[in-house]
Structure 1
């Protein structure tokens, strides 16, 4: 199997894992599922919280970069126009699909956010690597600043289960940009770093071990940094504020959460590359790959049927 095909199938494998994780989290959080007396099950479900969705968005960014690589390298205007048209249509479809899910009270929807990511991708697909990293940094820093400047709880009920004014224009925009389940600030950062990774040779076989070690180390570093910052600042600003500013949970999505989530997503992708390379002919591996290829269907299905 060629390296290019191995990369694509490994991304499908990773996408399936992301979907499985998102389903577990959605049933646990959005549907308020309880695990009475099963602390180990609660702990396992907690591992996916905010990580599965982050992996899903990083994979989306990588996928867009791979899809548009020919247009970007050739700078052929007709090819660029066609690729942009495809991304615009995808954005429109995902936005409508997301709105339909919202109509059945699925407030944890990711598709309408995903539509914005696709729209951004269409606009910046020919942007240089340096500018994409700069945009990533700006969004990340702005998102952390917004947590200080604005009221993150605004729009939510006391238990953070229902977004009260979601169906108003102001509430929808606030939810979309700032304090929804996957707001543009900072979730666009995951997508941008995915686009940037998709342009690199990181996914090639010769770089696999290095990327795995670096990403795992990064996860440990950012999680440790979060732990110590919370510990050191809690006596001064209070534990609630410390966790709010320096925690690594998806709500609120701090800078440390994004950086840790990116590292863990890259680590999972690297592991998936190893698995697909070694067990590509396995029935189970093929089943997982096929699941990843139908990720949108599974996502919609778990909402509507589940």
Structure 2
């Protein structure tokens, strides 16, 4: 029946894992423990979690944008004005959410961002603009676009802001520099992060054509293995948040985009279980406790930054916490969103940014 939306449980679980991983890495960044350097194993694990969180979050958002645009095309007028009614509210809501995040964790208050810094939510706002275009592209065309965005760091070279300090990456003077941060050299610039939006659209279409996914995953894993061997023999770090390494997050290079894309596809395959073919997702009902957090991922993203902003403000000029205390607070702040999401779904399901977006779906 057209217009009836059936939620896939494994999709909500992936959303939940993505947002909880993002909460973890953001919390660890705000309250880093004493004595933990970049090369410490704990720092590496935290960076690895953060490195996978954002690709998961953007890919699952691309999955949702594509499916929403497909539904819109089926049930509504395909004229420009109709699509504008679908696009503009998303741009406005996501941009407002980004401004809330930036203001809550402003550099002036001990945080990490300038108030108008483009971020992952402005990336999703930009993706909403191309959502209607994706539904008119063939699978091969979308795959080609994904590859172009994936190799875009190689194409644009130094324009990706490889030499920028963090303070420069999260600030912009004037509209021209703001657009540069949005498209080229911000925290989540369109080049190359739109790769994951197109990846999400391809995962949606490939759900019944797993042979193609298997081939892509195998080739990707071979490339990743070669990069690890090269890293070992050349004594170059395989992965760093930023700096000289095979994989870097700031700015995101091609190897990082490729590696995280492969692991995102693998995660989709694992958590999907048999649900795609009408069965149960991986874990059955045992993992259903994750789903409410997945259905509230945008709201959790915004609200957890507000809480972190308060913590950052209170901790200005304070000594770092001991490892045990910082670890405990990080785990507590990450896990608390699971029961809060369950409570919200039971008692206040209509109060969320998701519900606001749904009104324009």
Secondary structure at the aligned position of 2:137 is classed as: coil
Any idea what the Cα deviations from partners look like across 1:243-263, whole Å, max 9, x if unmatched? 868722312211111111111
1:180 is matched with 186
Cα deviations across residues 20-67 of structure 1 (Å, max 9, x unaligned)? 1111222234x3623646955334312213211001111111112222
**Distance in 2 between the 1:32 and 1:144 partners?**
34
Q: Which runs of 5 or more residues in structure 2 are unaligned?
A: 107-111, 275-279, 309-361
Alpha-carbon distance between aligned partners in 1 of 2:72 and 2:79, rounded to the nearest angstrom = 5
Relative to structure 1, the CA distance from residue 211 to residue 5 in structure 2 (aligned partners, 3 Å threshold; closer, same or farther) is farther
Provide the rounded CA distance (Å) in 1 between the counterparts of 2:269 and 2:216: 9
Q: Give the Cα separation in 2 of the matches to 1:145 and 1:215.
A: 22
Distance change >3 Å, CA 191–CA 22, structure 1 → 2: same
Counterpart check, 1:280 vs 2:284? yes
Corresponding residue for residue 48 of structure 1: 49
- The 2-side partners of 1:301 and 1:8 are apart by 25
Q: Counterparts of 1:286 and 1:195 in 2: how far apart (Å)?
A: 25
Q: Secondary structure at the match of 2:172?
A: coil
- CA distance in 1 between counterparts of 2:244 and 2:61 reads 27
Aligned partners of 1:78 and 1:212: how far apart in 2? Answer: 31
Query: Are the aligned partners of 1:13 and 1:289 in contact in 2 as well (CA < 8 Å)?
Result: yes
Query: What's the CA shift string for 1:172-196, capped at 9, x where partnerless?
Result: 2222112222111000111112112
Q: 1:292 aligns with which of 291, 294, 308?
A: 294
TM-score, L = length of structure 1: 0.78
Of 166-175 and 216-225, more deviation after overlay is shown by: 216-225
1:146 aligned onto 2:167 = no
Are the equivalent residues in 1 in contact too, given 2:183–2:191 (CA < 8 A)?
yes
Q: How much does 1:102 deviate?
A: 2.0
The alpha carbon displacement at 1:17 in A equals: 0.2
Q: What CA deviation, in whole Å up to 9, does each residue of 1:77-115 have, x standing for no partner?
A: 448864653233112210122123223415284212221
C-alpha change, 1:83 and 1:287, in structure 2 (3 Å) is: farther
Q: Distance in 1 between matches of 2:203 and 2:61?
A: 11
Which position in structure 1 is the counterpart of 2:250?
251
In the other structure, the counterpart of 1:68 is: 69
Give the Cα–Cα distance (whole angstroms) in 1 for the partners of residues 232 and 143 of structure 2.
31
Deviations 1:121-178, CA, capped at 9 Å, x for gaps: 1343322222222222222333222234665223x2xxx3564742532332222112
Question: Is the Cα contact below 8 Å between 1:113 and 1:184 reproduced in 2?
Answer: yes
The answer (yes or no) to whether the contact 2:162–2:250 under 8 Å persists in 1 is no
How many residue pairs match? The answer is 285
The change in CA–CA distance for 1:65 and 1:305 in structure 2 (over 3 A counts) is same
Residue of structure 2 in register with 1:103 after alignment: 103
CA-atom RMSD in angstroms: 3.5
Greater gyration radius: 2
Structure 1's unaligned 5+ residue stretches are none
Aligned residue in 1 for 2:12: 12
* Counterpart contact for 1:229–1:246, Cα < 8 Å: no
TM-score (norm 2): 0.67
- Distance in 1 of aligned mates of 2:171 and 2:246: 27
Q: Secondary structure at the match of 2:8?
A: helix
> Which is worse superposed, 7-16 or 63-72?
63-72
Distance 1:191 1:58 in 2: 5
